[in-house]
Structure 1
Amino acid sequence: MAGLKKTTVARDEPLSISEGRQSIHTTRMREHFFRQQEPQGTDPPVHPIMALFRRKQQHNPCEIATQPSVFDDPERARYFHPTENYEGIHRFDPEARWTWAEELPLINKLDRKITLWAWIAVMCTNLDSVNISQANTDNFLDDLGLSTDDFNLGNTAFKVAFICASLPSQLISKKVGHRIWIPTIMCSWSVVALSQFWLRGRTSFLICRVLLGLLEGGFPSIILLYLSYFFKGTELPVRLAIFYTSINIVYIVAPILALGILRLRGYHGQAGWRWLFLIEGIITFAGGVWSWFAMASSPTQTRSWYRPKGWFSEREEVIMVNRILRDDPSKGDMNTRQGVDLKGLWMALCDFDLWPIYIASFVYKMVPGVFEQYLTLVLRDLGFDTFNSNLLAIPAQVAGIFTTLIPTYLSEIWDERSLMSVFAQVWILPNIIALAVLPNGTSPWTKYAIMSIVISRPYLQGMQIAWGSRNSNAVGTRTVSVAVANMFAELSGVVYSNIYRADDRPECTLATIIFRCFITDLNNW
């Protein structure tokens, strides 16, 4: 099985010497079996989501959908049996069989219950992260007496705090449970976000940016791990691509909201950007409260006092548990509320086969991130007014939805991810060269067009993270790898948050981006 490596079995108590030897033997046997040829399954007649792109074929929905796995061989199955504390152990049945007519409607139900919730939840977090760009169009910096460099410092503080909190937040969530931790941090950061209504200067601005980073840190990786409990490895990339299109939607919706909210400038003597932070913070708080009731801990833990019948029947739970374990037996290694110990954390960090994906996450957003973060500020400096600066940010985000979904889908069809990642960088390069050769007096509309093309590049972070998740092959390793990949992605934000400086205004040149990103030492920025 290409790309799959060792797995570990999580336990609550220390292993004795004999148990330790047995565990090592089990791990080695798993590794041996993973190297063997992967069983070939059958394609679904009409796969949810993918069916939007695939030419429909005639299949019998009554055909068996159960895929071949190690559990079909008794000799190998004993090395992959779920642990006793796995939350779905009571639904695990290696002999279970089901049809496509049963599985496909179930996947659709998962998309309605899980994927849709995740999409909305990520919209909430990004709304509180990007509204500072809209605030910039309403004299936010001048009202608080801040310079562009102060703005850069605030963004850097946010990114650093986000990075520092990512892994701890992921580990806490793994211990206390996603259904408890996610709504808690959503409500917490929304309170901080709406409190920006009362900002008074540089100090309060920086404090709020740090608090937002600490509370939002790890949120994307927590949701990605949560999705892996419900979907197979082959189903995650496209769903993560849809997950990340919520960022594009926010960049489309946020300017439209801002166009209306910023007109409140002067209402009760307050600036429009203050009302922007307050109203959008309340929206996010409502999303956090809703998440308390919209989430479930796992496929077999959907019942509660407000949902006594749960989401799924016993038969549906059997199908979900066994389709997931047949795809990746390592998902039965841990309970959803079982923490990762220090030894497991260290082993996951030392899994150097995943480090190329971490590095790719770091460099991937470096250049386009500059344009996304500073687009409205640059447009104002180029002479566009508040209305146009917000409106002109929309077209690139609309295009970005398609350039994210289509390459991610093709990466699964062609089973090629590295070349897709390269394609995204090739997309950017000609536009950066164009910025380098344009004279200073070039029309603002020309510069806007080039920046929009850069921003609309294929955003394949979901594909890359799913790639790492698929190669983690242990719940503990997956917990850490997803968080670390997001940490590296945010680390690039620390770099590009210091690219566009006060002395660059109003021009945005290749020297500003390339030279500082890749050649100049960080200490000289």
Structure 2
Amino acid sequence: MTTAPMPDLENLDLEVKKDYGATAAVSHKGSASESQARDALRLSSSDDEGYDHKNPFSNPVVAEKWRETYEKSQYECRHVFDPTITWTPEEERRLVRKLDWRVCLWACIMFFGLQVDRANLGQALSDNMLDDLHMNTNDYNYGNTVFLVSFLVAELPSQLVSKKIGPDRWIPTQMVLWSLVAICQCALNGRASFLCTRALLGLLEGGFIPDMVLWLSYFYTSRELPIRLSYFWTSLSVTGIITSLLAFALLHLRGVQGWAGWRWLFLVEGLITLVVGIASFFMMPASAVQTKTWFRPKGWFSDRELAIAVNRVLRDDPSKGDMHNRQAITPRRLWRSLKDYDLWPLYALGLVCFIPQSPPATYITLTLRSIGFNPFNTNLLTIPANVFHIINLILITRLSEWLNERTFVAMIQSLWTLPCVIALRYWPGVIVDKWGTYALVVVLTSYPYCHAILVAWSSKNANNVGTRSVSAALYNMAVQLGNICSNYIYRNDDKPLYHRGNRNLIIVNILAIAVFLFTKAYYVWRNKQRDKIWNAMTEEEQRDYVRNTKLTGSRRLDFRFAH
């Protein structure tokens, strides 16, 4: 990439020095050349003015501009905003550890509650649920489709409700409502009741993940968020391990009170989610400044910790205070976010890159039953895949952070699964070697999950609170749309080996790799395009643009996309 010449320092006033320099330093990180990043940092901390390039509010003029913005938006933490406060790395590390225990850990517990009610259907299948309800695998596929369509339809409305009333209120409400529906699954009596509960669960669970990402973003910086999201999705695999052990015990209750084991499974695990949902009303503060309540009179933070918690997030991304946490997204802001085509490549990735792994993961219990394992061992045999999934998820997210690279690291997921789906289609041992088939399925479903990278990537490239809220929902809608498509890969007339389905998975897997490469090329091209326009401007035009542009977020000419 061609290095963009920077404005002459001597001809820039302090406001433009700081405003342009800090913006360029953040925007070029991980997306433009190293020399551009160094120039941007030099610009923001040059001469003897003492400005700190890590603090975009070092310039009093810039600080006052943002203070006015926070007052205008009635940002809930505005009274703690302090452009001059400093803290030591050790103070920040202690604070982040506290946030991990109070915020991230509970987020993982809530995700556990979500996954308990999403994953137990596969475990119920191993106890002959389909036969008990006089259904087949096509009915099962249709039920999954109903769930995913409902989930998808609810994504954006749920995000809008969450932004209006606050995720601290909406998420616990969602959990309590869907847990009641999950409990009612113990009374299923046929196809109609199965489809009804699938639809209600999808509507009530839809939006939970982007709502949770929004809540986490109130407490963590953009650099910390991907790792915390990896912990968040690690709880998915932890849930798989715990519920597999629960299923092993609960399915042995078949015959107690005349019930099948899968009915006890739905009842007990639904009650678990209900408890987590009720507790979440008390465990989710609206923001860092709202942890003190009647049942928590001392709050979570000392005054010093509170000041650090708020100001470190604002210095990482000043735009996090341009809306308060009970402010609705206007139709105009929604439309502006929807038409932000620069985020569409990430939505395309969400659509295709998780399809190749989904059918084998969804059908793992049926696959293990079909090759000779009994219902109880089947659920225990899913545990190794979940353990390896946890390890690979954390490793790939850490690798992305270490290399400051998103595209090629996330693409490891597709490179991992491609030889596995090829083997599923063409390896003759699938028919006769049940342990070999089991090993192959375990390797495939242990894939390094890049979801945390893509969610944080979408959030970073949105570069605006309102757009970030909508983009999180749109990205997750794309993922759910891909999941809907994946439900029609394995069909009843193609079992038990699913040759046609596995051939289609190979095609989609190759397509996913192509989309990753396209996304990389697109963002490199967009950054070069903006460099060319910016470099053609005079210093006066650059100065005027930084001061007066009305464009926000990723639409700004001085913003560079991460890739």
Where on the TM-score scale, by shorter chain, does this alignment land: which range?
Answer: 0.7 to 0.9
Q: Structure 1 pair 151/112, CA: closer, same or farther in 2 (3 Å)?
A: same
**Residue 100 in 1 paired to residue 89 in 2?**
yes
CA shift, 1:335, in A, is 0.4
Cα distance in 2 between the residues matched to 1:320 and 1:134: 42
Distance 1:449 1:39 in 2: 44
Tell me the residue number matched to 2:70. 83
Structure 1 residue 268, shift from structure 2 partner: 0.7
Aligned to 2:559: none
Name the residue aligned to 1:313: 302
Look up the equivalent residue of 2:70 and give its one-letter code: T
- Equivalent residue number for residue 470 of structure 1: 460
Query: Would you say the 8 A contact 2:489–2:504 is kept in 1?
Result: no
Q: CA separation in 1, counterparts of 2:245 and 2:138?
A: 27
CA shift in 2, pair 1:350/1:390, >3 Å: same
Q: Helix, strand or coil: the match of 1:441?
A: helix
| Structure 1 residue 428 corresponds to structure 2 residue 417 | yes
How far apart, in 1, do the equivalents of 2:18 and 2:332 lie? 20
Deviation, 1:505, is 2.2
C-alpha change, 1:451 and 1:516, in structure 2 (3 Å) is closer
From 335, 340, 363, the equivalent of 1:346 is 335
Amino acid at match of 1:36: A
Question: Would the aligned equivalents of 2:424 and 2:502 in 1 still touch at CA under 8 Å?
Answer: no
Q: Is 2:379 the partner of 1:390?
A: yes
Answering whether residue 248 of structure 2 is matched by residue 262 of structure 1, we say: no
Q: What amino acid maps onto 1:479 in structure 2?
A: S
Letter in 1 for 2:445: I
Query: 2:184 maps to which residue?
Result: 195
Q: What's the CA shift for 1:69?
A: 2.4
* Structure 1 partner of 2:312: 323
CA-CA distance at 1:366 after TM superposition: 0.4
Cα RMSD, aligned residues only: 2.0
| 1:515 Cα offset (Å) | 2.3
1 CA distance for matches of 2:333 and 2:424? Answer: 47
Instruction: State the shift of 1:31 in Å.
Output: 9.1
Deviations along 1:171-220, whole A, 9 cap, x unmatched? 10110111111110100000000000111100000000000000000101
Structure 1 residue 75: Cα displacement: 4.0
CA distance in structure 1 between the aligned counterparts of 2:351 and 2:125, rounded to whole angstroms: 26
Cα shift readout 1:385-408 (whole Å, capped 9, x = no counterpart) = 101211111111100111100111
Alignment of 1:363-374 (within 5 A): 363-374=352-363
Task: Report the counterpart of residue 56 of structure 1 in structure 2.
Answer: none
Shift of 1:74: 2.9
CA distance in 2, matches of 1:105, 1:114: 14
Per the TM alignment, residue 37 of structure 1 is displaced from its structure 2 partner at its CA by 3.3
Q: In the aligned structure 2, how far is the partner of 1:182 from the partner of 1:422?
A: 32
Partner of 1:286: 275
Residue type matched to 2:370 in 1?
A: D
Question: Which secondary structure does the structure 1 equivalent of 2:288 belong to?
Answer: coil
Q: More helix per residue: 1 or 2?
A: 2
CA distance in 2, matches of 1:353, 1:40: 16
1:242: how far off?
A: 0.7
Residues 388 and 446, structure 2, Cα contact 8 Å, conserved in 1:
yes
Match of 2:437 among 447, 450, 469: 447
SS of equivalent to 1:500: coil
Query: Relative to structure 1, is the Cα distance of residues 39 and 237 closer, same or farther in structure 2, using a 3 angstrom cutoff?
Result: closer
Aligned to 1:180: 169
Partner of 1:15: none
1:261-304 CA distances to partner (integer Å, 9 max, x unpaired)? 01111111111100100000000000001101111000111111
Q: Give the drift of 1:39.
A: 10
Q: Counterpart in 1 of 2:24?
A: 36
**CA separation in 2, counterparts of 1:358 and 1:505?**
31
Is the alpha carbon distance of 1:80 and 1:471 closer, same or farther for their aligned partners in structure 2, counting shifts above 3 Å?
Answer: farther
**Change in CA separation of 1:180 and 1:441 when aligned onto 2, cut-off 3 Å:** closer
Q: Is residue 495–residue 517 contact of structure 1 (8 Å, CA) maintained in 2?
A: no
Aligned match of 2:57 in 49, 57, 71?
71
Structure 1 residues 67 and 391: alpha-carbon distance in aligned structure 2, compared to 1, 3 A threshold? farther
- Answer whether contact 1:496 1:517 (CA < 8 A) is retained: no
Unaligned runs of 5+ in 1: 1-27, 42-65, 520-525
SS of 2:293 mapped into structure 1: coil
Aligned partners of 1:162 and 1:214 also within 8 Å: yes
The answer to whether the Cα contact below 8 Å between 1:30 and 1:79 also exists between their aligned partners in 2 is: no
Question: Matches of 1:346 and 1:33 in 2, distance apart?
Answer: 30
2:393 maps to 404
Match of 2:158, as an amino acid?
S
- Which of 184, 193, 196 lines up with 1:204 in the alignment? 193
CA 39–449 in structure 1, closer or farther in 2 if over 3 Å, else same: closer
CA distance in structure 2 between the partners assigned to 1:107 and 1:290 by the alignment:
23
The 1:427–1:96 alpha-carbon spacing in structure 2 relative to 1, beyond 3 Å, is same
CA 159–103 in structure 1, closer or farther in 2 if over 3 Å, else same: same
Using the TM superposition, give the Cα deviation of residue 78 of structure 1 relative to its aligned residue in structure 2, in angstroms.
4.2
What is the CA–CA distance in structure 2 between the aligned matches of 1:212 and 1:76, rounded to whole Å? 47
Paired positions, count: 467
Q: What CA deviation, in whole Å up to 9, does each residue of 1:219-249 have, x standing for no partner?
A: 0111111000000000011110011011111
Distance 1:389 1:32, change over 3 A: same
Deviation at 1:79, TM superposition (A): 4.2
Give the letter aligned to residue 485 of structure 1: Y
Cα deviation for residue 32 of structure 1 reads 5.5
Aligned residue runs from structure 1 range 132-147, under 5 A:
132-147=121-136
User: Could you tell me which of 482, 502, 505 is aligned with 2:492?
Assistant: 502
The amino acid of 2:57's aligned partner reads: F
Instruction: Report if the CA contact (8 A) 2:227-2:398 is conserved.
Output: yes
SS in 2 for 1:433: helix
2:66 is paired with a residue of what secondary structure? Answer: coil
Asked if residue 129 in structure 1 is aligned to residue 129 in structure 2, the reply is: no
Q: Which runs of 5+ in 2 are unaligned?
A: 1-15, 30-51, 509-563
Query: What residue number does 1:228 align with?
Result: 217
Q: Which residue of 1 aligns with 2:525?
A: none
CA distance in 1, matches of 2:18, 2:91: 30
Q: Which structure 2 residues correspond to residues 41-56 of structure 1 after superposition, within 5 A?
A: none
C-alpha separation between the residues in 1 aligned to 2:434 and 2:18?
60
One-letter amino acid matched to 1:138: D
Could you tell me which of 154, 160, 183 is aligned with 1:165?
154
Q: TM-score by structure 2 length?
A: 0.80
Match of 2:227 among 220, 226, 238: 238
Distance 1:40 1:108, change over 3 A: farther
SS at match of 2:488: coil
Q: Could you say what secondary structure the match of 1:383 adopts? A: coil
2:377 matches 1:377: no
Q: Could you tell me whether the CA contact under 8 Å between 1:40 and 1:68 is conserved in 2?
A: no
Instruction: Report sequence identity in percent.
Output: 45
Per mean C-alpha deviation after superposition, the further-off stretch among 499-508 and 236-245 is 499-508
Distance between the aligned counterparts of 1:329 and 1:128, measured in 2?
37
- What is the rounded CA distance, in whole Å, between the counterparts of 1:67 and 1:258 in structure 2? 54
**Residues 422, 502 of structure 2: 8 Å contact kept:** no
